[in-house]
Amino acid sequence: MTIYFTNVGIHKHKIKQVLEGALKHLKQPSRQIEMSLSIVGEEEIRKLNQQFRGINSVTDVLSFPTLDLAKEQLDHRDFPSDAVNAKTGKLNVGDVIICFNRAKEQAKSYGHSLKRELCFLSLHGLLHLLGYDHVQEGDEKEMNALQDEILAKMHVTRDRK
């Protein structure tokens, strides 16, 4: 998996490990996939939330999928050439944007580390890029269970470390 990081200074290695672990857990071809992950401030994420969702408030994470996926097994050869990065030959699944201040607040509120919160939000965003959602109760249970399984498998716990 190739991840294009923007403003991700801390916990970058662990985030990458979690996202790669997620693809492996989901039996996705990680070598064929790329995405971007950015950490931004409150004003920037509020503007994006307003522009793309019509919600004028700060949120923790936004996902912008480049494809309309439905939790399917990915193969870059099955997609139109404009979905594949001409330079890398990888399928670009989209962008995840995380609000650093919101992540910090949530980590404190939930009583766990900032590392855990950033890994969780990154994973949550990736799952959205891959077609998972939590609008319906059954889908929410599935997504929550997946997040818990993957984080546990990657040794990302709710402790304060």
pLDDT tens, 7-42? 998 899 999 999 999 999 999 999 999 999 999 999
* Residue of 23 and 72 predicted with greater confidence: 23
* Residue of 139 and 19 predicted with greater confidence: 19
Q: Does residue 159 belong to any structural domain of this protein?
A: no
Residue 31: how many CB atoms within 10 A of its CB? 13
Between CA 48 and CA 62 the distance in angstroms is 8
Does 55 have pLDDT greater than 90?
A: yes
Q: Tell me what the mean pLDDT of segment 62-82 comes to.
A: 82
Does 160 have pLDDT greater than 90?
A: no
Domain membership of residue 119 as a residue range: 2-153
The CA radius of gyration of the chain, in Å to the nearest whole number, is 15
Q: What is the DSSP letter of 31?
A: G
Total of domains in the chain: 1
Q: Tell me what the mean pLDDT of segment 70-78 comes to.
A: 76
Q: Does residue 71 belong to any structural domain of this protein?
A: yes
pLDDT number for residue 135: 80
Which of 35, 19, 33 shows the shortest CA–CA distance to 154? 19
Between CA 114 and CA 21 the distance in angstroms is 19
Instruction: Look up the CATH number of the domain holding residue 50.
Output: 3.40.390.30
pLDDT number for residue 151: 97
- State if pTM tops 0.85: yes
Q: Does residue 108 belong to any structural domain of this protein?
A: yes
DSSP-assigned letters across all residues of 72-133: PPP-GGGS-GGGB-TTT--EEEEEEEEEHHHHHHHHHHHTS-HHHHHHHHHHHHHHHHTT--
pLDDT number for residue 72: 74
Most confident of 71-80, 98-107, 151-160: 98-107
Q: Does residue 37 belong to any structural domain of this protein?
A: yes
Q: Does residue 60 belong to any structural domain of this protein?
A: yes
pLDDT tens, 77-134? 777 777 888 899 899 999 999 999 999 999 999 999 999 999 999 999 999 999 999 8
Q: Does residue 34 belong to any structural domain of this protein?
A: yes
Q: Does residue 126 belong to any structural domain of this protein?
A: yes
Q: Does residue 161 belong to any structural domain of this protein?
A: no
Q: Which strand (E) or helix (H) includes residue 152? A: helix 137-153
